[in-house]
Amino acid sequence: LSFYLSPSLPLTSSSSGSTQPAYMGNAQKKPHSRGDGGPHTDTSNSHHGPWRGKGGTSDKYKVPEESKEKVANGSSKRGSTASAQGNKGTTGGEKAKETVNLDAPCGALPPHLSRLKNEGNLLFKNGQFADALEKYSQAIQGYTDSGMESPEDLCLLYSNRAACYLKDGNSQDCIQDCTRALELQPFSLKPLLRRAMAYESLERYRKAYVDYKTVLQIDTSVQAAHDSVNRITRMLIEEDGAEWREKLPDIPLVPLSAQQHRREEPPSQQVLQARAEKASRDAEVRFTALKQEGNDFVKKGQYQEALGKYAECLKLKPKECAIYTNRALCYLKLQRFGEAKQDCDAALELEPDNKKAFFRRALANKGLQDYLACSSDLQEVLQLDPNVQEAEKELEEVTVLLRQSLASATQDKPRKTVAITEVRLCSVS
């Protein structure tokens, strides 16, 4: 389908030489016959009634005759069909056919309404806009009679029928249907764009400008909206002068939740790399500052405050060994020996030969009265560096404590009474 039922369409040149969207042409010309048959006849459906010219009459909106001939190239047969025909005038009489499933489901619509919508889509694609409009109208009426609640589906039906009105130059009814669609689904892109085109065809440029600008808030990639905004801006400046903006209606602010159609180019590899490098530099600067603040708190004896700074450091660099040993020192000063031991364990997983981690874990084990583990850690320290005098002193003290602990355990241990039974050997003769 054209842009009325699909997201994009190439541009074409108007008679004035300006580049305009191909799908705008029929919205800005006098009504033509319905499909490729005769003129539209009056029916009982007042919502699309007899056709009348409601489009703009300025020459700048006229479309070349060859463009009009390209609009309808489908079968003249009315009603449902199972194929879309194109290339009607191709050499050799060949006709390209595309199979269409008219019974395909459409949202929450029941089967008979889905078929009406599919038939309308097919007729629209074949250029039979009046017949397509009739199908959409029947679907809308069927929706209303069914009492169902599916605003999204009804919005699409109104939007599609608005596309038919726009193609036939019935801009006023197009505006009405687009407004109904937007009441059901605010900030829906296609109804906004079609209403803008209809306003522009009626030379209601201020309202058209507002709708185009709203479209660009939803999707900045709609080139037709950019072109129309530039064109209308020049017209309004000529008409109203430098104060043209003051005469515009308010442009609604589109919420982020409605900007679902926005299509942005993904960042290049260079941009991603630059962002990563900047994030790394920022993290390094913050880490250094937090570590220094923690160290300053330790020097002042404010160990609880230092713990907070070191914890933030670990969020930035969870594998920084020095932060674990520094935080272990704070835990030791606060006599939180179990947590000090855990931080030393973490440091030793990162650096198995870290002297500070062994020494501070020895002190944590001492606080936990695990003198054997303490002695083992101190011996590790001296093995790594025999000149650590603090480790020698601690080892001497812990050795005494370990002996006292073992002696105390021996004294406190109750003796078991063992019954001795005398066994006499009897000889047998």
Residue 52 structure tokens: 């009348």
Residues 88/72, Cβ–Cβ less than 8 Å: no
* pLDDT class of 100 with cuts at 50, 70, 90: confident
Arch. (CATH architecture) of 111-261: Alpha Horseshoe (1.25)
Indicate left, alpha or beta for 129 from its phi (over 0: left) and psi (-120 to 50: alpha): alpha
272 band by pLDDT with thresholds 50, 70 and 90: confident
Nearest to 321 by CA among 285, 358, 293: 358
- Give me the DSSP letters along 84-146: EEE-TT-GGG--EEEE--TT---TT--HHHHHHHHHHHHHHHTT-HHHHHHHHHHHHHHHHHH
pLDDT by residue (tens digit) across 216-245?
999 888 999 999 999 999 999 998 888 899
The answer to whether residues 215 and 225 touch, using CB atoms and an 8 Å cutoff, is: yes
Mean pLDDT computed over every residue of the chain: 78
What are residue 20's DSSP bridge partners? 12
Tell me, what's the pLDDT at 271?
Answer: 84
pLDDT attached to residue 270: 87
Q: Which of 45, 241, 267, 252 is nearest to 140 (CA)?
A: 45
Question: Tell me: the pLDDT tens digits for 299-313?
Answer: 999 999 999 999 999
Q: What is the DSSP letter of 357?
A: H
Residue type, 349: E
What is the per-residue pLDDT across 180-191, written as a single tens digit (0 to 9) for each? Answer: 999 999 999 999
Task: Tell me which residue of 64, 34, 226 sits closest to 130, measured CA to CA.
Answer: 34
Rounded to whole angstroms, the Cα distance separating 248 from 205 reads 9
> In this predicted structure, what is the pLDDT of residue 43?
35
Sequence ranges of the domains in the chain: 111-261
The lowest-confidence range among 61-75, 98-112, 124-138 is 61-75
66 Cβ contact partners less than 8 Å away, ≥ 6 residues apart = none
Q: What percent of the chain has pLDDT over 90?
A: 60
- Tell whether pTM > 0.75: no
Distance CA 355, CA 385 (A): 8
The model's confidence at residue 256, banded by pLDDT at 50, 70 and 90, is confident
**CA distance linking residue 108 with residue 121, whole number of Å:** 17
Which band of pLDDT confidence, cut at 50, 70 and 90, is reported for residue 81? very low
Q: Is the model's pLDDT at 421 over the cut of 60? A: no
Question: Residues with Cβ < 8 Å from 41, sequence gap 6 or more?
Answer: 50
**b/e per residue 42-69 (b: at least 16 CB within 10 A):** eeeeeebeebeebbbeeeebbbeeebee
Rounded mean pLDDT, 119-124: 95
| Range with lowest mean pLDDT among 120-124, 197-201, 409-413 | 409-413
